[in-house]
Structure 1
Amino acid sequence: MTYRYTATPTPIGAAVAVFSAGDRLVALGTAEDPGWVVDAVAREVRGSLAPADADVAGLSAQLEEYFAGERTAFDVEIDWSLSTGFAAEALRLVAEIPYGETSSYGEIAARAGRPRAARAVGTACRFTPITLVVPAHRVIRSDGSVGEYAGREDVKRFLLELEGAIAR
């Protein structure tokens, strides 16, 4: 199968979106080097990636609106094929956290019916194949501290401040 990808500049790096058949979002990652995300996703999907001719599913425009503070939700169909087991279940719950709100790792674990699995939720968030649209940045520690986002607390804090979930 051939997957298509787009790269959109954002304040936190290039957002590389990979789409499967039917313009379903299979991966979204940010990096200073878009090629790194493309290579990593190509290995995961075991397929080839080709640049898209246009803004697939309007996601590039939606990302621009989000970072401009004009969009609070993304309108794109998700292909969950790169998430399995408890991680997939946790990430689906994370996707339900509203803009401007946060939830703790423990709260997500409890909602998934596994109240002792907060660390597993953290692992799912850290390794989610779809960032931003699946708002792992909205999941915080039970003590109220923000924690990290793909290893970068500054990025997580920036996103939560952008959404008004924490004070600037």
Structure 2
Amino acid sequence: MKFDKSIVQTNIPSPLGTITIAASAKGLTGLWFAEGQRYLPTDLTGSAAWPENADHPLLKQASQQLGEYFAGQRSRFDVPLDLRCGTAFQQSVWQALLAIAQGETVSYGEVSRRIGKPAAVRAVGGAVGRNPVSIIVPCHRVMGSKGTLTGYGGGLTRKTALLRLEGALAERLL
């Protein structure tokens, strides 16, 4: 993934652990769990890390909206997004994820059909897994073909917690 050079980041607390959020001048470009997250960008830590800026307006807006979400007071996010880091295919998948309403889940196959690529289920799975703005771009709402909990970059425990928070997890999956 290629990220804009103007990105800044900050860390915020959440009930599921510390979250790192990142923004460019155009929108929120990243949301990752600080621990146990797969597919982290290399620019998140070390000497090449994006600068910290907790006062960036988009990071403040995202932080507030995430707090409301975890408190059960928000079901949709309206923070601007900058998803240019992905390929055209990945961006189409991420846009399809944005159309999945809170409380709803869909299969990877359904996402494939929604983007007009019904045979691209594996590629859709890869794009879902590399979603750079988890929670807000709700990749946790994508399930296995029989409604089973499968894959989540932040771990299945967090996926389960997010789906429970949203009232989307069927009792049989508990």
Q: Give the TM-score band, short-chain normalised.
A: 0.7 to 0.9
Q: Distance in 1 between matches of 2:159 and 2:30?
A: 19
Q: Does 1:9 align with 2:13?
A: yes
Q: Deviations over 1:63-120 (max 9, x none)?
A: 1111111110111111111111322111110111111111110001011111111111
> Once the 2 structures are TM-superposed, how far is the Cα of residue 41 of structure 1 from its aligned partner?
3.6
Shift of 1:48: 5.9
Structure with greater strand share of residues: 1
> What is the CA distance between 1:2 and its match in structure 2?
2.9
Counterpart residue number, 2:23: 19
Number of residues paired by the alignment? 162
After TM superposition, give the deviation of residue 133 of structure 1 in Å: 0.8
Measured in 1, the distance between the counterparts of 2:14 and 2:63 equals: 10
Of Structure 1 and Structure 2, the greater helix share is in 1
Does the CA-based 8 Å contact 1:55-1:61 persist in structure 2? Answer: no
What TM-score do the two structures reach when normalised by structure 1?
0.86
Q: Which residue of 2 aligns with 1:49?
A: 50
SS of the residue corresponding to residue 29 of structure 1 reads strand
Instruction: Return the TM-score normalized by structure 2.
Output: 0.83
Correspondence 1:112 to 2:141: no
Q: For 1:7 and 1:42, locate their aligned partners in 2 and report how far apart those are by CA, in whole Å.
A: 11
Residue segments in structure 2 that go unaligned for 5+ positions in a row: none
Paired with 1:159 and 1:92, the residues of 2 have a C-alpha distance of 19
Larger relative contact order (CA 8 Å, sep ≥ 6)? 2
**How much does 1:148 deviate?**
2.1
Mapped pair 1:126 → 2:124: no
Gap regions ≥5 residues in structure 1: none
Aligned alpha-carbon RMSD (Å)? 2.3
Name the structure 1 match of 2:71. 68
2:119 aligned counterpart, secondary structure? coil
